[in-house]
Structure 1
Amino acid sequence: MIVRSPYDDIDVPDTGLPEFLFGDLGDAAERVAIIDGPSGAQTTFGELAAAVDRFAAGMGERGLGPGDVIALFAPNNPYYPVVFHGALAAGLAVSTVNALYTPDELAYQLRDSGSKVLVTVSAFLDRARAALDEEGLAVSEIIVIDGAPSVSGVITETSLSEVLATTAERPSVSLSGDDVAALPYSSGTTGRAKGVVLTHRNLLANLLQIEKMGTHVSPDTKILAVLPFFHIYGMTVMMNQGLHARAAVVTMPKFDLAEFLRIISEHRVDRVYIAPPIAVALAKHPMVDQYDIDCVDIVFSGAAALDAELGAAVGRRLNCTMLQGYGMTELSPVSHCMPDDRPDMDLGSIGVALPSVECKLVDPDTGAEGVERGELWVRGPNVMREYLNNAEATASTLDADGFLHTGDVATVTDEGVFYIVDRVKELIKYKGYQVPPAELEALLLTNDGIADAAVIGVKDAEGEEIPKAFVVLQQGAELSGDDVMSFVAERIAPHKKVRVVEFIDQIPKSASGKILRKDLRAREQAPA
């Protein structure tokens, strides 16, 4: 049984994303597009569009065009959209790279994507140079956004200011919706990171889909972009949605709670996109009370499941509307969310399917459709084209009917409201019973002494899989492992009890906030 969005379908124009965003600025040319959060420096839409044209011209001067790829390895900053959209305007695809990557991880992505230019910042140059020492890379130039001096070497290093100083014309490139725009790499929590091929149509469609849900986003909105633009959540929902709505996007290079709160207060940010770890800080940290952030109207959580009680606590403390959505890189990224005008919707849900999205729930063991609880399959114009150079992974994720198999287990109400229960591959099976880690993690976070938590399945002495909790304590809190296990046991069915507890300093997470369970499993397997 197919569940469709309650919203009317969208019409997606067959054009490139830069033309869609900058083709007709009109009165918006003088409006502020980007605000650098730390310094307060502002860039108007007109200035941004001109810089996009100059970067495109610079790429054309280098002989780059349709079919070529550049890599963007940088934290959020005002030049990120210049490089991203300038490359697209020249017909290139952009492979956005995780800012935390090691040289080996960076080299793998450069090699796999076939990138010919690497754009980065001076603070990342050591890792960039180390990566480019590896064999089999096509990169011939490093462009440094903040203009670090060049050093002698095989690879040319150029400052972005030099590229933007070109007097060449922007290349005449006719883009269609089927052309490749972005090559982000999926999180790698279930194996080696894979290049996700997203077309201009994919990215453009998702902006139009989001527009129907984000009724409070307007040219007067200020969006805080603290989550990274290299991740599809930051790329589409913060950077590109802001540009599409003619809103101001306030950039932050990384999350720091004091700076986060200062920037919201000083720039009067009214729309904040977060991942659940930030929700924990907003709900529990005493520093929040030291800043005037009553300007915040909506806080939207994505990238990982948000516990309803935690979300409600954030809403109460900030006196704002708290919303949640769902997506993945392969969906450009949003497929479901709570609309701005439905704050009454259950915060434990992921909301409803976006316009033009169709869904199915399929039993992962039997393949039966129409089940009450099953793997969520999604079809729509925002679904990726394929995994780059990986036909096997594509075939296992994207079926012949165009449905993307998300790997997430969901339920849906008669009103079309979806709930993510857990991931297919993350379920713990204890004596034949299924134990969802996300449920235990949400429960653990309701304990005032616990700052963060993650749960995985481990083997006991008898080889039985049991739930183990990794717990980060609040500063000054005193809890024993027995205290934690008793807290859970008193609140949950016996087969779901936490049976082992380990206290750690920090839960390993991706830049988008997803728990890196593979790192916790590796910790378990490491020799003592």
Structure 2
Amino acid sequence: MTSALSRSARRIISSNLTRTVRLQSIWTPDNVVKSPYKDVDIPNRTIIEHVWENLARWPDKTATICGLTNRSYTYHQLFKYSRNLASQLRSKLGITDGDVICTMMNNSPEYVLAVLGILSSGAELTTVNPIYTAHEVYRQLLLSRPKVMIGSTDTVNVIKESLKMANMDIPVICVTTSGGLPAHTISFQELTGDADHDVLKDVKITADDVAILPYSSGTTGLPKGVELTNKNVVVNCVQSDVDGVKQYRDTTSSHQESMIAVLPFYHIYGLSIIMLHKLSVGAKIVTLPKFQPNTFLSTLKNHKISLLYVVPPMAYVDQIVCGAAPLPKLDIDRLLDKSKIDVNFIQLYGLTETSPLVTTMVPGTKNYLTAGVAIPNTELRIVDSEMKTLGPNEVGELHIRGPQVMKGYRNNFEATRNAIDENGWFKSGDLASLDQNGTITISDRLKELIKVKGFQVPPAELESVLKEHPSVLDAGVVGVPDTRTGEAPIAFIVLNDGHKADVHGIKEFVATRVAEFKRLKDVVFLENLPKNPSGKLLRRILKEKYA
């Protein structure tokens, strides 16, 4: 997943919580735009140290609770049980500093516990979408080489199958909330029981060590491991605490923000902004395994939700952060027209590679097509195809520099060198412009990822699957507008000689090999595909000519 907020996220907050913030970004003589906010001190601590820094202020407040079953942990319990898990991971399963542990499950209080336990053990966390097929999981396993997998009863079979495909024999820990423990798995609940914490004295992880390893699919279709250090994530949390950027009210003896976590924790948006940052400020995280209207609405009511992070189809209530895909202005206007209170609509921008937050609109802004200004310690610039830095209102590729920019791509020097230059500028792959005040407008994306319901679908991945079909000689995939999903993939196929066109058969072939959101909307048969002289597929031509 290349984009944390998938190029943009939006937030609605009630007017009585907004403040008038008048800021002016600084254009330097070399056309670099600096943040209008005062720089924050960059903390030299790990994610775990940051999350628990203020534990003494709210030990008995609920940290996380299941919106369906009310299964919950207080902050003190979460601290205790996560340390138990960390100790058991090291003493019983042999985890050492820098090992990778992979999670594959839907949102739950135990997911929160697992993440904190993994990080406390000194291991790196990598996450997998729980609706992935074994083939998709297998690819990530080969790249990340985890020492342990943590799943649930509804994902453990896929985990086992993917491990078999990868020829890996590693422990599988299973979270069970009802029913028995699946064969050949280790009980998550037993590992969170009482344990000797002395072994945690051996953890020597520092702020500069990698903590989170999300996998980001590029236009090549090959996932890249994004190395986010403890410092990357922690500084992004601190940047998010500054007035004007801040999206929450402080936890006190009489107030605690309550928020639904229905956006998946395997996604950097859910993991960093919703889970880790909100734990660090003492909020209550109400988990839902998936979005279902009835349970979603009942959870809103039963848990008195005050802060809501959503994707575009879910935009309701009075405090909302909406991410994972752009929400059209027409939908924004409809939402605001239906609101019974005066609200502000705030758009954010970020990416997986930036931990994720980069820019935010100032409360009170009415220009809903912009994504605001750079957050503290962050610089922006726009460059043309010849890498010349452009001035105000000129469109080019957005480059970002700041302490939240990733360390690099795991074991991929070439991709890292292409993404981050020698001066620390990260190339976003997005077309954008900056106005005189440093306000950013995202115009388009240079990358060709297809956005389906907020999920990113790499065209080359589907092309690779299609070429495994015995009838397919060549294939090209592009995204087309879809009223229900935003975009949908459509395949252009060149058949092998003597083979017949079979739209249904090819769609079914792909459907058995990929997650539901990656399935093809349609198949079109062509005699040949447009390519440049070096043989590179010209998806732009496909889109313009046929889609």
Give the TM-score of the pair, scaled to structure 1.
0.76
Mapping for residues 239-388 of structure 1, pairs under 5 Å: 239-279=275-315, 282=316, 296-318=317-339, 319=341, 320-339=343-362, 342-363=363-384, 365-371=385-391, 372-388=394-410
**Distance of 1:28 and 1:115 partners within structure 2:** 34
- Provide closer, same or farther for how the CA distance between residues 161 and 6 of structure 1 changes in structure 2, counting only shifts above 3 A: same
- Provide closer, same or farther for how the CA distance between residues 65 and 426 of structure 1 changes in structure 2, counting only shifts above 3 A: closer
Picking from 161, 182, 187, the partner of 2:189 is 161
Are residue 424 (structure 1) and residue 446 (structure 2) matched?
Answer: yes
Unaligned runs of 5+ in 1: 283-295, 428-436, 442-453, 457-464, 475-507, 509-514
Mapping for residues 194-233 of structure 1, pairs under 5 Å: 194-212=224-242, 213-219=245-251, 220-233=256-269
**Distance of 1:242 and 1:418 partners within structure 2:** 26
Aligned-pair CA distance for 1:345: 4.1
- Provide closer, same or farther for how the CA distance between residues 130 and 136 of structure 1 changes in structure 2, counting only shifts above 3 A: closer
Unaligned runs of 5+ in 2: 1-30, 460-475, 486-509, 511-515, 528-547
- Provide closer, same or farther for how the CA distance between residues 258 and 2 of structure 1 changes in structure 2, counting only shifts above 3 A: same
**Distance of 2:306 and 2:439 partners within structure 1:** 26
Q: Kindly report the root-mean-square deviation, in angstroms, between the aligned alpha carbons of the 2 structures.
A: 2.9
| Residue in 1 that maps onto 2:165 | 134
| Residue in 2 that maps onto 1:434 | none
Are residue 53 (structure 1) and residue 83 (structure 2) matched?
Answer: yes
- Provide closer, same or farther for how the CA distance between residues 30 and 519 of structure 1 changes in structure 2, counting only shifts above 3 A: same
Contact 1:321 1:343 in 2 (8 A): yes
Aligned-pair CA distance for 1:78: 0.2
**Distance of 1:522 and 1:356 partners within structure 2:** 45
**Distance of 1:473 and 1:314 partners within structure 2:** 17
- Provide closer, same or farther for how the CA distance between residues 424 and 519 of structure 1 changes in structure 2, counting only shifts above 3 A: farther
Picking from 120, 124, 136, the partner of 1:89 is 120
**Distance of 2:420 and 2:73 partners within structure 1:** 40
**Distance of 2:222 and 2:523 partners within structure 1:** 18
- Provide closer, same or farther for how the CA distance between residues 525 and 34 of structure 1 changes in structure 2, counting only shifts above 3 A: farther
1:62-98 superposed Cα distances (whole Å, 9 cap, x missing partner): 2211121100111110011211111111110010111
User: Which amino acid is the alignment partner of residue 29 of structure 1?
Assistant: P
**Distance of 1:407 and 1:127 partners within structure 2:** 33
Aligned-pair CA distance for 1:218: 2.4
| Residue in 1 that maps onto 2:144 | 113
**Distance of 1:336 and 1:89 partners within structure 2:** 30
Aligned residue for 1:227, secondary structure, equals coil
- Provide closer, same or farther for how the CA distance between residues 526 and 334 of structure 1 changes in structure 2, counting only shifts above 3 A: farther
Aligned-pair CA distance for 1:379: 0.8
| Residue in 2 that maps onto 1:449 | none
User: Which amino acid is the alignment partner of residue 199 of structure 1?
Assistant: T
Aligned-pair CA distance for 1:468: 8.6
Contact 1:350 1:419 in 2 (8 A): yes
Aligned-pair CA distance for 1:323: 2.2
Contact 1:10 1:355 in 2 (8 A): yes
Aligned-pair CA distance for 1:264: 1.1
How high is the sequence identity, in percent, across the aligned residues?
32
How many correspondences in the alignment? 433
Aligned-pair CA distance for 1:34: 0.8
**Distance of 1:526 and 1:75 partners within structure 2:** 40
User: Which amino acid is the alignment partner of residue 334 of structure 1?
Assistant: L
Give the TM-score of the pair, scaled to structure 2.
0.74
Are residue 32 (structure 1) and residue 53 (structure 2) matched?
Answer: no
1:122-144 superposed Cα distances (whole Å, 9 cap, x missing partner): 0111111111112343x510000
Contact 2:248 2:307 in 1 (8 A): no
- Provide closer, same or farther for how the CA distance between residues 357 and 522 of structure 1 changes in structure 2, counting only shifts above 3 A: farther
